[in-house]
């Protein structure tokens, strides 16, 4: 089955700097890669996602890139702000049936220092 | 407002007792999920249901049970057979089971076994 590795487990940046979180996946059949943000004491929320037919997607200060050949994808946050501090999870999903469930990485705790 | 409601938010249990966590959604979603979150372990799937009166085991189903008698409700019972039940439990739902549908999470229930 699918396995998702996420790095780093913790990341500390100064406000205004960029942050990059990287994930690798094992199943070449996976075709959907979302990123979730979890604030303290709350459930995760989808912030951006990418499908396997796209190499890059941007939404304001957030971007995700996908390299299907290398089987890795990354989250890029530019001009970080204190409210970006949270735990971020990447995930991968195959197609259909029991393979259609999301497999999550172990999370990255991002701290943005003012 | 539409969303997912989990209760209770905090729960304490003595060893040997069963406990049931509630999850209700008013999003009219077909699929519902239960995840367990432990520090540094990411989100692991316990059970999922794609339709009323049907559910499937996830990756860590041992010691847990579920029911799906109504579309909007998916309660999770943590039984005394679960060897390490202390954790943060998250319920989620999605429009399209086994597909690229976004997961909507509740705010979680924290279970502590005394």
Note whether B4 and B105 are within 8 A (CB): yes
Q: For all residues of chain A together, what is the average pLDDT?
A: 92
Of A94, A75, A86, A79, nearest to A35 by C-alpha is: A75
Whether residue B88 lies within 8 A of chain A, CB to CB, comes out as no
Reply yes or no: is the peptide bond before residue B105 cis, omega within 30 of 0.
Answer: no
Tell me which of A17-26, A43-52, A97-106, B35-44 is least confident. A97-106
Note whether A62 and A76 are within 8 A (CB): yes
Q: How far is A44 from chain B (nearest CA, A)?
A: 6
Could you report the per-residue pLDDT of B70-108, keeping only the tens digit for each? 999 999 999 988 889 999 999 999 987 655 678 999 999
Of A76, A70, A63, A88, nearest to A24 by C-alpha is: A70
| pLDDT of res. B99 | 56
Interval B29-38 mean pLDDT: 94
| pLDDT of res. A93 | 86
Q: Is A92 helix (H, G, I), strand (E, B) or coil?
A: strand
Rounded Cα–Cα distance for residues B32 and B94 (Å): 6
- pLDDT class of A101 with cuts at 50, 70, 90: confident
Q: How far is A92 from chain B (nearest CA, A)?
A: 10
Q: Which residues of A touch B107 (CB under 8 A)?
A: 41-43
How many A×B Cβ pairs under 8 Å? 56
Q: How far is A88 from chain B (nearest CA, A)?
A: 10
Rounded Cα–Cα distance for residues B77 and B75 (Å): 7
Whether residue B84 lies within 8 A of chain A, CB to CB, comes out as no
Cα Rg, chain B, nearest whole Å? 13
């Amino acid at each position: 089955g699918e396995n998702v590795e996420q790095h780093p487990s913790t990341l500390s940046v100064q406000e205004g700097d960029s942050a990059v979180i990287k994930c690798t996946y094992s199943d070449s059949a996976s075709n959907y890669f979302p990123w979730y943000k979890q604030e303290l004491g709350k459930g995760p929320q989808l912030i951006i996602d990418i499908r396997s037919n796209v190499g890059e997607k941007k939404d304001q200060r957030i971007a995700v890139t996908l390299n299907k050949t290398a089987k890795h994808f990354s989250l890029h946050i530019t001009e970080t702000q204190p409210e970006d501090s949270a735990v971020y999870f990447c995930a991968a999903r195959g197609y259909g049936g029991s393979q259609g469930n999301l497999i999550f990485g172990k999370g990255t705790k991002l701290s943005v220092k003012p | 407002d539409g969303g997912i409601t989990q209760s209770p938010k905090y729960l304490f249990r003595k060893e040997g007792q069963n406990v049931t966590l509630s999850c209700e959604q008013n999003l009219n979603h077909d699929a519902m999920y239960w995840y367990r979150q432990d520090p540094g372990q990411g989100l692991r799937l316990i059970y999922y249901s794609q339709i009323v009166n049907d559910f499937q085991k996830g990756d860590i189903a041992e010691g847990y049970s579920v029911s799906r008698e109504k579309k909007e409700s998916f309660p999770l019972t943590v039984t005394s057979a679960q060897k390490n039940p202390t954790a943060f439990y998250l319920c989620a739902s999605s429009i399209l089971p086994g597909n690229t549908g976004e997961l909507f999470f509740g705010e979680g229930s924290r279970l502590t076994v005394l």
